[in-house]
Amino acid sequence: MKTRAAVAWKAGQPLTIETVDLAGPKAGEVLVEIKATGICHTDYYTLSGADPEGIFPSILGHEGAGIVVDVGPGVKSLRKGDHVIPLYTPECRECKFCLSQKTNLCQAIRSTQGRGLMPDATSRFSLNGQDLFHYMGTSTFSNYIVVPEIALAKIREDAPFDKVCYIGCGVTTGIGAVLFTAKVEAGANVVVFGLGGIGLNVIQGAKMVGAGKIIGVDLNPEREKMAREFGMTHFINPKEIENVVDTIVQMTDGGADYSFECIGNTKVMRDALECTHKGWGRSIIIGVAEAGAEISTRPFQLVTGRKWEGSAFGGARGRTDVPKIVDWYMEGKINIDSLITHKLKLEDINEGFELMKRGESIRSVVIF
Ligand code: NAD
Ligand code: AHE
Ligand code: ZN
> Closest residue (by CA) to atom 11 of ligand 2?
42
Whether 180 and 246 map to the same domain: the answer is yes
Residue from 48, 58, 88, 322 to probe ligand 2 pocket by mutation (most atoms less than 8 Å from CB): 88
Regarding the beta carbon of 339 and ligand 1, being less than 6 Å apart is answered: no
pLDDT digit string (tens) for the chain, length 368 residues: 999 999 999 999 999 999 999 999 999 999 999 999 999 999 999 999 999 999 999 999 999 999 999 999 999 999 999 999 999 999 999 999 999 999 999 999 999 999 999 999 999 999 999 999 999 999 999 999 999 999 999 999 999 999 999 999 999 999 999 999 999 999 999 999 999 999 999 999 999 999 999 999 999 999 999 999 999 999 999 999 999 999 999 999 999 999 999 999 999 999 999 999 999 999 999 999 999 999 999 999 999 999 999 999 999 999 999 999 999 999 999 999 999 999 999 999 999 999 999 999 999 999 99
Residue at 323 is within a domain: no
Whether 33 and 112 map to the same domain: the answer is yes
The enclosing domain of 226 has a CATH number of 3.40.50.720
- Residues that are catalytic: 40-42, 62-63, 92, 95, 98, 106, 110, 169, 363
The enclosing domain of 54 has a CATH number of 3.90.180.10
> Closest residue (by CA) to atom 8 of ligand 2?
312
Residue from 41, 232, 295, 322 to probe ligand 1 pocket by mutation (most atoms less than 8 Å from CB): 41
Number of domains in the chain: 2
How much is the ipTM here? 0.98
Cβ contacts of residue 251 below 8 Å, gap of 6+?
A: 213, 215, 234
Whether 244 and 160 map to the same domain: the answer is no
- Indicate whether this model's pTM tops 0.90: yes
Regarding the beta carbon of 174 and ligand 1, being less than 6 Å apart is answered: no
Whether 244 and 307 map to the same domain: the answer is yes
Q: Which residue segment(s) compose the domain that 255 sits in? A: 174-312
Whether 242 and 128 map to the same domain: the answer is no
Residue at 234 is within a domain: yes
CB-based neighbours (< 5 A) of ligand 3, an ion: 40, 42, 169
Residue 90 CB coordination number (10 Å): 30
DSSP codes joined into one string, 124-172 = SEEETTEEEB-STTT-TTBSEEEEEGGGEEEE-TTS-HHHHGGGGTHHH
Gap between the Cα atoms of 98 and 115, Å rounded: 21
Residue at 42 is within a domain: yes
